[in-house]
Amino acid sequence: MKTLHYFSLLLCLLQLSLNAQSGQPDTGMSSQPVQLRFQNNTLQPIYFNYSRRQLFYNKTVRENPKEFLNLCRTLHDPQIKNQIARYDHLTQNKKIITASMIAAGVTGYILTMVASDYTGNTPGANNYQYPMLFGGLAFLLATPILAITMSVPHQKRKEVLFRDLPDAYNFYVITQSKK
């Protein structure tokens, strides 16, 4: 009976999570207006340290990465738009892998619990018990593999946010200052 309660609780939490994700798309946009960093009516270039995951203006003023991403979303430049599209695609991949990891863990747990409930006296129990146990263990083994795989899109997202997007932004700032 406890297994059914845990299963229903996990399904409710999964449904709430999916509703929250599908309710409004995560664009990273805040409701507050973005304050552009100007110096003499031109945008300032941004300095970045990829190894420490930091962004700076004037090599001293730290910039929040989310605010920088929102700033870049307001600029109309093809290179910046390509980097933002890449960032959003990697974010979507990360969400899909996370949902798969959760589903594999729950499915593996349920299959192993159901397989352990079969007793040797039940007619035909061995016909169902071993395949369910094998499937449950396979799903449980897939969970940490998916967790490790999830780090790949996460690292690529950080690479875009802390290296590629600042490069595209700085190129845009330099070309705008020459006009």
Could you say which residues of the chain have pLDDT below 50? 23-36
pLDDT at residue 106, rounded to an integer: 95
pLDDT at residue 29, rounded to an integer: 37
Is 47 domain-assigned?
yes
Is 141 domain-assigned?
yes
Is 154 domain-assigned?
yes
Contacts of 49 (CB under 8 A, 6+ apart): 55, 56, 162
User: Which range marks the domain in which residue 58 is found?
Assistant: 43-69+78-162
Is 167 domain-assigned?
no
How many structural domains is the chain composed of? 1
Q: Which one, of 144, 53, 49, lies nearest residue 100 by Cα?
A: 144
pLDDT at residue 168, rounded to an integer: 92
Is 175 domain-assigned?
no
Q: What pTM, to 2 d.p., does this model score?
A: 0.68
Is 19 domain-assigned?
no
pLDDT at residue 44, rounded to an integer: 81
CA distance 179 to 174: 9
Is 127 domain-assigned?
yes
> Is the distance from CB of 102 to CB of 14 less than 8 angstroms?
yes
